[in-house]
Amino acid sequence: MAVDITIPSPGESITEVSLSGWLKDDGAYVQKDELLAEIESDKATLELRAPAAGALKIVTKKGDGIKVGTVVAAIDTSVGAVAPAGAPVSGAVAAAAAPSGGSHVGAVAAAAAPSGGTKVSGVAKKVAAEKGVDTAAIAGTGPSGRVMKDDVLGAVAPAGAHATGAAAAAAAASGAGVHKSARGVRREKMTKLRQKIAERLVHAQHTAAMLTTFNECDMTEVMRLRTEHKDAFEKRFGVGLGFMSFFVKAAVSALQKYPRVNAYIVGQGAEMEIEYHDYADIAVAVGTEKGLVVPVLRNSEALSFAGVESAIKDFAVRAKDGKLTVDEMTGGTFTISNGGVYGSLMSTPILNPPQSAILGMHAIKKRAVEDPKNPGQIALRPMMYLALSYDHRIIDGAEAVGFLVHIKDMIEKPERLLFA
């Protein structure tokens, strides 16, 4: 009996996906729930797994524009598992069959086996074993950095590429062997996710009256609290105490004081309206190899510090593995982006439509500032620049500045978060 494999729906508004490539050969025997391929939409990446055990019959090759619900392969459940040619035999037979100087066999096996946790497709393993290529030294272009067949073939030097020792010596003598700087050019198709990111960012700049205001905050007290309580916090809640939870709670307080920062503009022209939200669904920007994703902390006003940290940790792990769902990345009312983790000192973050504002955090640097406890005296303090980009159509400059000052006050005197 044949069991069809169809493209599942990543989300309500998504009708097309791209197939990254099959991880198993056509006709190969697969186990139930074995990973066969990854499909990518403009919002999320999903795994395509075998619905049953049997022989894989591939109908659709990799590519873009595959409709949701399309049959891309089938599983013939009447086919049982067959031991592959060259399967391991008994020790005595193996010893008799092993050629003298059997180290070559070991070298090929080592080349076929990924080291250091490198993900390698089944086809790539087979080709690597045949060509004697070490897959650990290859940068994969497949899903999650997986080494694919084309990556292995690209790492194999073409026949005749190397001159013999005598020819090389002659070339060196004539000056023909002088190395020149590489001037290679290559192109690769943008992923669905990257295309969507580009589209949304350009849309934000073309439709919103975007402006950015800056401030700085002294991180001394937050760093002191974190140092004093991080061990007890982690022991009790099983998650580390980071800076993001402080900023999320400070943002919740500021959003409640300045509700238009937490609002949308809906409609066009004379039909435009302001949609206010009584809740704070804060999106947290997470960088991945495939692009920026922004999972949402639903009802952040109801989350504890531990709740915020646990959710962010879970998002980061699943974002790296492409496990986030479309629902988890949809519907935020405000966004926080921490470019400081990459070393950014200052930037102007771009709005995440239809949101009206985004807060940018940056790297902490010690700078000479006036000591708040000793006016007129200079002290070296850990300082962070903050940036708030906002839509001037809905948020006035005074509101934006007041919002950022409120964040600053909460961070510099974090005990205020207890009463926010």
Q: From residue 240, how far is each of 9, 61, 227, 292 by CA, in Å?
A: 35, 44, 11, 23
The residue from 76, 314, 392, 406 that is catalytic is 392
Give the alpha-carbon dihedral of 112, 116, 121, 126, to 10 degrees. Answer: 0
Q: Give the up-direction half-sphere exposure of residue 233: CA atoms within 13 A in the CB hemisphere.
A: 18
Amino acid letter for position 307: G
If residue 334 lies in a helix (H) or strand (E), which one and from where to where?
strand 334-338
Chain position carrying tokens 């950022």: 404
Q: Which amino acid is at 220?
A: T
Q: Give yes or no: 409 in active site.
A: no
Burial group, residue 336, by CB count within 10 angstroms (0-12, 13-18, 19+)? buried
Amino acid at 353: P
Element (H, E) at 2: strand 2-6
DSSP character at residue 6 = E
What CA–CA distance (Å, rounded) separates 357 from 268? Answer: 19
Which residues contact residue 387 at a Cβ distance below 8 angstroms, ignoring those fewer than 6 apart?
Answer: 212, 213, 214, 346, 347, 348, 349, 359, 360, 362
As a whole number of Å, the end-to-end CA separation of the chain is: 62
Q: Which residue among the candidates 206, 396, 406, 409 is catalytic per the annotation?
A: 396
CA angle 252, 217, 287 (to 5 degrees): 65
Contact 323, 290 (CB under 8 A): no
Q: Any catalytic annotation for residue 392? A: yes
Residue 294 identity: V
Distance set, CA 215 to CA 1, 212, 329, 350, 404 (Å): 66, 10, 28, 17, 7
Here the tokens at position 28 are 């190969």
Cβ 155 vs Cβ 133: under 8 Å = yes
Active site residue ranges:
392, 396
